[in-house]
Amino acid sequence: MKYIKIEPLPREVNNTEQVRRCNIKRMHDDVVEEQQELFFQFPASITSPEDDDCDSYLLAVIMDAMSENRDIVVAGMVSRTLLSNLVEFQSAWKKWLPGIYHCINITVDTINEHAQAKSGAICAYSGGVDATFSVWRHSQAQCGYRTQDIKLCCLVHGFDIPLTNEKAFTNASDRARKTLADLDLSLVSMRTNYRKVLKANWEHSCGAALVSALGNLKNIAGTCVIGSSEPYDALVIPWGSSPITDYLLSSGDFNVLHDGASHSRTEKVKEIAHWKIGVENLRVCWAGDLTDYNCGECEKCMRTKMNFLVTGNPIPTCFPGPGTIDGILKVKLTSNLIRGEWQQLYRYAEANNRVDPWMQPLRQLLENKEHPVLNLIFPKGSRRRRLAARLAEKLARR
């Protein structure tokens, strides 16, 4: 029998920091095939979960166990609510990707039957558009009865910024603190070696990883706010964070709230444009040499610039680089998710009757890159080619 065994370890605490940790053992019967230690480091001033509380650790390994078809044995305590939710969570991923993920069994030493969530919320905050939108609208009480009382935000070192890049994380966290201070919100910095220890596809495991990390702070607030990636009318499935599965990462004392799928990225930008410090400190770039700043040239930087322009707002100074027309002509649409983002942007521009000079290269980008077969059938720029491109786009959305 192959399985993953989770063994919680005692916390390590010094004057300023504490480390929650566990052993993750890949087992074959009684033989240890591989053993690694997973850790989460955060301020010592925060009251952490009990040492044997393994909700966070179980979420950390669930995608690996499913992809390796290994059962999980937890030598500690897990919330009954989480165990129940993970049954459905596994079923969703097996249905989406049956050749990659399997439904596995989970056994635990102790089931936590009476866990209760504390009031207030923690918001995952990287400085990107999605997180900035969530923080802004909840702090301004713009969500009606769904509005959350955000107690603090958290930026995790070891996810998009590697642990080895201390300088980049320090710069990113300093900018995030400055931004959040404008709303009287504080930021907790956390370090984890999650991406060094776990092996599952990051695009599939990112949601579980995020809740796993923030769950270590659940004694401060019992709701985890995760900013949406895509709107309800343009969901990309499968994806590691979505309104379909994020709530299934909830435990008895840590509820997960997928936030913002009511808005496209462009609509989010239109809202946060009212928050001057928020937009001037956006950090969206994944491609630049400095992971704490925007390169201004990559696909995501160019797309964010366009999000501002199509809503009639100026491009924030945090985005350097080429002009929009030159930048658009260099963009490559490398995935369905990226194609969908640019489609949404273009449809927003059309619906709002934009006639700016960048509309033609934007249209050309979608026609040339998304429907290359049309180049073999219709001449470029022809009316028939434009009609065929629009038809292909409508069929793709069905």
* pLDDT 10s digits, 332-352: 998 888 998 999 999 999 999
Q: Which residue in this structure is represented by tokens 């480390």?
A: 19
Mean pLDDT of 304-332: 92
Q: Residue 375 pLDDT more than 80?
A: no
Q: Residue 394 pLDDT more than 60?
A: no
pLDDT band at 391 (very low <50, low <70, confident <90, very high): low
Q: Residue 45 pLDDT more than 80?
A: yes
The gap from C-alpha 344 to its chain's centroid, in whole angstroms, comes to 19
**Three-class DSSP labels, the chain:** CEEEEEEEEEEEECCCEEEEEEEEEEEECCEEEEEEEEEEEEECCCCCCCCCECHHHHHHHHHHHHHHCCEEEEEEEEEHHHHHHHHHHHHHHHHHCCCCCCCCCEEEEEEECCCCCCCCEEEECCCCHHHHHHHHHHHCCCCHHHCCCEEEEEEEECCCCCCCCHHHHHHHHHHHHHHHHCCCCCEEEEEECHHHHCCCCHHHHHHHHHHHHHHHHCCCCCEEEEECCCCHHHCCCCCCCCCCCHHHHCECCEEEEEECCCCCHHHHHHHHCCCHHHHHCCCCCCCCCCCCCCCCCCHHHHHHHHHHHHCCCCCCCCCCCCCHHHHHHHCCCCCHHHHHHHHHHHHHHHHCCCCCCCHHHHHHHHHHHHCHHHHHCCCCCCHHHHHHHHHHHHHHHC
Mean pLDDT of the chain: 92
* Tokens standing for residue 195: 């991406």
Listed range (160-164, 310-314, 380-384) with the worst mean pLDDT:
380-384
Please report the pLDDT score of residue 322 as a whole number. 75
pLDDT band at 323 (very low <50, low <70, confident <90, very high): confident
Please report the pLDDT score of residue 389 as a whole number. 52
Listed range (33-37, 97-101, 338-342, 382-386) with the worst mean pLDDT:
382-386
pLDDT band at 381 (very low <50, low <70, confident <90, very high): low
Mean pLDDT of 18-45: 97
Q: Residue 37 pLDDT more than 50?
A: yes
Q: Tell me the sheet residues that pair with 256.
A: 224
